[in-house]
A and B are shown apart, each in its own frame.
Chain A
Amino acid sequence: DQQVKQNSPSLSVQEGRISILNCDYTNSMFDYFLWYKKYPAEGPTFLISISSIKDKNEDGRFTVFLNKSAKHLSLHIVPSQPGDSAVYFCAANGHGSSNTGKLIFGQGTTLQVKP
């Protein structure tokens, strides 16, 4: 039972254009969402997060949108750069675990930004 889903295994965009990565979740009790970026042979690195009390959070080229009614979040990267090519994971804070930080991850989306 996949509680956090990234339905697009891969995405390819042109340098300078917008990249939109999507994530859906099923548990309405999730209250904190994160995006991680992962390069090959490295660990995931934190990118941006959003609390369930907000619907948008922005950090430079990266913006995360949260639609609680649809149980959907998205990560927008604009403009996309070749260095953004990586695997992107969304993650959610598990129900009743705000104090332990247990995260549930999606399967990941591989982003390729073409020069």
Chain B
Amino acid sequence: NAGVTQTPKFQVLKTGQSMTLQCAQDMNHNSMYWYRQDPGMGLRLIYYSASEGTTDKGEVPNGYNVSRLNKREFSLRLESAAPSQTSVYFCASKRNSNQPQHFGDGTRLSIL
């Protein structure tokens, strides 16, 4: 049972390059989320998808786009990477309201 799978696990980009982070869940969950974790700041929500076919902005959406490709997959795209986007990115999913989110193991992204 894989749960939430994120690819790649590590990536180094140059400023201005584009990149898509992939996330897939096999738990038949309705909602999916993208967070970033920076030192001393906990996890901050970038975008989320409450259900297949919908996406909404979170706390820190600037510089990112998302696609809910189907119920299983939710991708995060950086169109023009900036050093401020160096972070660890986590994808999460959950079935419905007031149930815990399940997280992937993260993508560590460095932008030079």
- How many residues from A make CB contacts under 8 Å with B? 28
**Residues of A contacting B99 with CB < 8 Å?**
101
> A107 and B33: CB pair below 8 A?
no
CA distance A103 to B104 in the complex (A): 16
Q: Which of A89-104 contact B (CB under 8 A)?
A: 89, 91, 93, 98-104
Closest to B104 in A: A43
CB distance from B53 to the nearest CB of A (A): 14
A32 close to B (CB within 8 Å): yes
B94 close to A (CB within 8 Å): yes
> B50 and A100: CB pair below 8 A?
yes
**Which of B13-21, B35-43, B62-70, B72-80 lines the interface with chain A?**
B35-43
The answer to whether A101 and B90 touch (CB under 8 A), given A43-B4, A44-B43, is no
Contact with B along A44-58 (1 / 0, CB 8 A): 111001010000000
Closest to B108 in A: A41
Residues of B at the A interface (CB closer than 8 Å) are 4, 31, 33, 35, 40-45, 48, 50, 56, 58-59, 90, 92, 94, 97-106
Residues of A at the B interface (CB closer than 8 Å) are 4, 6, 9, 32, 34, 36, 41-46, 49, 51, 89, 91, 93, 98-108
